[in-house]
Amino acid sequence: MLRETDRQIGLIDSLVKAIRDTRDSRYVRHELKVLLTQRISQIAFGYEDAYDCDELRGDPAFNMAAGHYPETGKVF
């Protein structure tokens, strides 16, 4: 539901456009949109502490909400 709502209102895309990413691209592993999607989803699911990332990496429901196939982790 969260992902579909974001698709309709474009909140994360608007945030990506508003935030200037000054990271050195040679060291960037995850795009800003992926990082924002993950963080917003974590907060919405009640995981407001950032240290839950490793635990949620294998959660199929969280992967789907973040726009990743649960089996492979690839973005859809």
**Would you say 12 and 37 are in contact if contact means Cβ atoms under 8 Å apart?**
yes
Q: How far, in Å, CA of 71 to CA of 60, rounded? A: 8
Residue 74 lies in a domain: no
How do the pLDDT tens digits run along the chain, 76 residues long? 888 899 999 999 999 999 999 999 999 998 999 889 888 888 888 888 877 777 787 788 877 777 778 777 777 7
Residue 55 lies in a domain: yes
- Token pair belonging to 47: 């995981």
Residue 72 lies in a domain: no
Domain tally, the chain: 1
pTM above 0.85, yes or no: no
Residue 51 lies in a domain: yes
Residue 70 lies in a domain: no
Residue 73 lies in a domain: no
Residue 71 lies in a domain: no
